[in-house]
Amino acid sequence: MTMLHDTRHHQASAHLDALTDEAITIIREVATACENPVLLFSGGKDSAVLLHLAVLAFAPARLPFPVMHVDTGHNFDEVIEYRDRLVHEWNVRLVVASVQESIDKGRVVEDTGPRASRNRLQSVTLLDAIAEHGFDAAFGGGRRDEDKARAKERILSFRDRQGRWDPRQQRPEPWAMLNARIRKGEHLRAFPLSNWTELDIWRYIARHDVPLPSIYFSHRREVVERDGMLLAVGGPVELEPGEMPFEATVRYRTVGDASCTGAVESHAADVRDVLAEVAAARITERGATRADDTFSESAMEDRKREGYF
Partner 1 sequence: MGIDTELVSSTSSTLRIATAGSVDDGKSTLIGRLLHDTKTVFEDQLSAVVKASRRYGDGETNLALLTDGLRAEREQGITIDVAHRYFATPRRSFIVADTPGHAQYTRNMVTGASTSDVAIVLVDARHGVLDQTRRHALIASMVGAQAIVLAVNKMDLVDWDEARFLEISAEVQSFVDALPDPVPVTPIPISALLGDNVVDRSANTPWFAGEPLLEFLEAFELRPHGDVGARVHVQRVIRPQGGAHADFRGQAGVVTGGWLRTGDEVTVLPSGLTSTVRALYRWGDEVAEAGPGHAVVVQLATNVDVARGDVLVAGAVIDPLVGDDVVVDVCWMVDRPVTAGSRWWFQHGTRQGHATVLEVQHRLDPTTLERHDTAELVLNDLGRLRLQLGEQVVADQYHVLPEGGRMILIDPADNSTAAAAMVQTVTAAHTNGRG
Report the interface residues with partner 1, using CB under 8 A: 4, 7-8, 10-12, 14-15, 18, 20-22, 24-25, 28-29, 31-32, 55-62, 144-145, 147-152, 167-168, 170-177, 179, 181-183, 194-195, 197, 281-284, 287-288, 297-298, 301
- Minimum distance between the CB of residue 197 and partner 1, rounded to whole angstroms? 5
In terms of CB distance, is 74 or 189 closer to partner 1? 189
In terms of CB distance, is 114 or 167 closer to partner 1? 167
- Report the DSSP pairing between strands 229-232 and 219-226: antiparallel
In terms of CB distance, is 75 or 195 closer to partner 1? 195
- Minimum distance between the CB of residue 48 and partner 1, rounded to whole angstroms? 16
- Minimum distance between the CB of residue 129 and partner 1, rounded to whole angstroms? 23
Rounded Cα distance, 271 and 192, in Å: 23
In terms of CB distance, is 16 or 126 closer to partner 1? 16
Question: b/e map of 93-113 (b: 16 or more CB within 10 Å)?
Answer: eebebbbeebbeeeebeeeee
Handedness of CA 94, 99, 102, 108 (dihedral sign): positive
Cβ–Cβ < 8 Å for 259, 236: yes
Cβ atoms within 10 A of the Cβ of 17, count?
11
- Minimum distance between the CB of residue 283 and partner 1, rounded to whole angstroms? 5
- Minimum distance between the CB of residue 254 and partner 1, rounded to whole angstroms? 14
In terms of CB distance, is 3 or 109 closer to partner 1? 3
- Enclosing H/E stretch for 222: strand 219-226
- Minimum distance between the CB of residue 105 and partner 1, rounded to whole angstroms? 32
Cβ–Cβ < 8 Å for 165, 157: yes
In terms of CB distance, is 40 or 57 closer to partner 1? 57
Rounded Cα distance, 20 and 193, in Å: 9
> Which has the closest alpha carbon to 309: 20, 60, 69?
69
In terms of CB distance, is 20 or 218 closer to partner 1? 20
- Minimum distance between the CB of residue 7 and partner 1, rounded to whole angstroms? 6
> Which has the closest alpha carbon to 182: 25, 36, 22, 27?
36
Rounded Cα distance, 121 and 107, in Å: 9
